[in-house]
Each structure stands twice: as structure tokens, then as C-alpha cells.
Amino acid sequence: MEMLFALCVGVLTTCGVFMILRSRTFPVVVGLTLLGYAVNLFLFSSGRLSINSAAIIGSTDAYGDPLPQALVLTAIVIGFAMTAFVVILAMRGRGDLGNDHVDGRIPDHSSLSDKERN
């Protein structure tokens, strides 16, 4: 289970970082969301991974750590609010600046092909 979990976090982080480095706002927002998922999963695992362990003392022999769950919940709420804000901001940037590039202008590299420019 640990291996699968670690792979999940790793793949999500990689995809997130890759998308954040794109030059248009939509992939960047998707990248931020992916990175947020990875971070939340990672934060969750800081209380150690275990199965069938409730976060209540006395009900089971092995009990889970409730604190990471509370932290993840907080992080999810904050991340959700921030994502909503950045989506609106990206749309406003599209309206104000006339294009959806993060820098606000279409890069002027005549050497690039159309595919690379995107």
C-alpha cells in the first residue's frame, strides 16, 4: 500500500509541476490543482498509513492519528478557495489582457513552430 501511495503522490506531483510550468493559464490552474491533490495525499500520510483504525481511542486496538485528517481537511478547504480564486483571476486575465498567456502577451519567437508555441 505504501508503494502505491508513494507512486500516486509522486506521479501527481510530477504532472502538477509539469503543468504549472506551461505558459497558458488553463494548464497552470490544472497543474496547481494536481499539485494540491498530491500535497493533500502527502499530508494525510504523515499520520502513517493503516487500515481499519478509527481515530477514536477505545473502539479498536490500533487507532489512527486524527490530527493529519484535520490538517488535510483544512488544507482541502483552503486549496479549494484558492483554486476558485485563481480560476476567476485567469478568466479576468483573459478578458483584460486579450490572451490566456501567463505573461499577458503572446511570446514572439518566430523560430518556434505553432505546436511548440502552445
Contact positions vs another protein (CB under 8 A): 20, 25, 28, 32, 35-36, 38-40, 42-43, 45-48, 67-68, 71, 74-75, 78-79, 81-82, 85-86, 89-90, 92-93, 96-97, 102-104
- Give the residue with the Cβ less far from another protein, 21 or 112: 21
- Give the residue with the Cβ less far from another protein, 7 or 78: 78
Give me the amino acid identity at 41: L
- Give the residue with the Cβ less far from another protein, 55 or 86: 86
Helical (H) or strand (E) element with 43: helix 25-45
Whether the Cβ atoms of residue 20 and residue 28 lie closer than 8 Å to each other: yes
- Sign of the Cα torsion 47, 49, 50, 54 reads positive
- Give the residue with the Cβ less far from another protein, 60 or 99: 99
Q: At a CB cut-off of 8 Å and minimum separation 6, what does 100 contact?
A: 24, 25, 26, 90, 93, 94
